[in-house]
Amino acid sequence: MLWLVVVLAGHLSNAGAFVIDKILLQKIMRHPTVYVFYIGALGIFAFVLLPFGNFIWPPVPVIVQSALSGFTFMAALLCFFMALKKSETTRVVPFFGALIPIWTLIFATVFLGEWLNGREWYGIALLVVGAILISYESSLAPTAITGALAALIIFAAGLFAFSSTMLKAVFNSTEFINGFLWTRLFAFLSVLPLLLLPSTRAVVLNMGAGSGTERPTPLFFVGQSLGALGFVLLAWGTQLAPRVTIVNALQGIQYAFLFILITILSYLAPRLIKESLSARILIQKTLAIIILAGGLVLVA
């Protein structure tokens, strides 16, 4: 059960990173392309892990899979942050994650030949239902996810699921450190073209008026440290787990962590982050957490 502990720790770390992402996108770093560039550029520091493993030239199929995983991961982040900037964290993140197990099941079946047993099907169904319930909102509500925003989140979820599937394929063919470093290298390379965008280049190179307001802050590095820890733990969990579909289905637990963190911050520091938390919403999300817990028991 080590894989389960590792995955849950990774989701908790990511929940903290998502809260900081939302604060930064609202208050400081207002361009998602700039934010994604900094994240991809910092990914090169993954090579600090080099003394703990080998960085060798793998077979061509593994390089292709690493490239696909790295490129689609950064593309997923860009789409996700664009959506996160437009709506509430506790709406966007759970909706995004509810779709990931569905996409992952499709990609893992096609590319990895994975299949679930009976109990795992029920567990994943509960995790998806719980994730949908925790993010549900009437289409008439001002913060509801509809139209172009919904399409953007669906696309982001598909990209992330494909990235995770390719990552599992890489780990099936090479050792953890080597596969991890190759995917981070390609993630770094994938964000370099963002410098071709004048608005992004002006901020990153400090060429535009007022660009200094979007330079990385200490809070940014705290968030990226949490995000990096979450990514490493989930990558390790992906290697350890029997199926990548189960790892991504457990994203539903991340929303329980996220909901708790957002609720605390909304009351303690409403100027930093404020979301709708009426009695009805609290009951709805509490019920969703119970369903998510049931799904966790079944897949574990």
Please write the tens of the pLDDT for every residue from 128-178: 787 778 666 665 555 556 678 888 999 999 999 999 999 999 999 999 999
pTM, rounded to two decimals: 0.78
Give the pLDDT of residue 31: 78
Give the pLDDT of residue 181: 94
- Is 225 a residue whose pLDDT tops 80? yes
Lowest-pLDDT choice from 76-90, 112-126, 138-152, 208-222:
208-222
Give the confidence band of 65 by pLDDT, cuts at 50, 70, 90: very high
Q: Please list, in sequence order, all residues whose beta carbon lies within 8 angstroms of the beta carbon of residue 81, skipping any fewer than 6 positions away.
A: 21, 25, 32, 35, 36
Lowest-pLDDT choice from 5-19, 153-167, 196-210, 242-256:
196-210
Encode pLDDT of 74-96 as tens digits. Answer: 999 999 888 887 777 767 777 78
Task: Please count the structural domains in the chain.
Answer: 1
CA–CA separation, 30 and 36 (whole Å): 11
Give the pLDDT of residue 209: 46
Domain range for 213 is: 2-299
Cα dihedral sign for 219, 268, 11, 200? negative
Tokens of 66: 């690493």
